[in-house]
Structure 1
């Protein structure tokens, strides 16, 4: 019985605290070099300790698995405070889309649904 409980607790801990299916953090100064290079860019700005940010990160991770050609980046404002200031982030999570020329064309604060996210990728010509 102890074995079963131990296995269950290990599984629960790995699910609860595992971040395997999360969008990896990007360094903002490196991301800046990719904005406006002929492809639209999606920035997810948030924190690794924010529940809503984690939900968005998992959704965007799944998108990157289906569409690795999309420019999707996660900027962690806890680590990149200068980026948060430069991007004028007031609340997290914030999603920002830049067009292929580097112009900001969309900004949203909060969670997006899967359908809303898919529509954004279509509307802003990520495909």
Structure 2
């Protein structure tokens, strides 16, 4: 069951590259938002593998940094469902976090279910909920 909204951000792609002849791509995103109401920046790199009908499966790793200097690492996976010409799509996935920060310590026991919608400018609006 979905719990509280714990993360909200705006994301922009800051780098992409093609990995192989099968269409596997790497994308690096930078997000500005709030986690548990604390302002933060997240940088994450995904490897996206194409599946049937334009769906992409993604796995990635990231780093979260708050304005006060607290950090967390992230492990993420999800799918992107196309909504027209690329890069338009809906992203759905799960994120796990690890931190030593007392302020962010609650993240160590949270499964975060996220969704994002992207526009043709590669801008994403991301929301994440605790999965209870």
TM (norm. structure 2) is: 0.25
Q: Relative contact order (C-alpha < 8 Å, sep 6+): which is higher?
A: 1
TM (norm. structure 1) is: 0.26
Normalized per residue, the structure richer in helix is 1
Normalized per residue, the structure richer in strand is 2
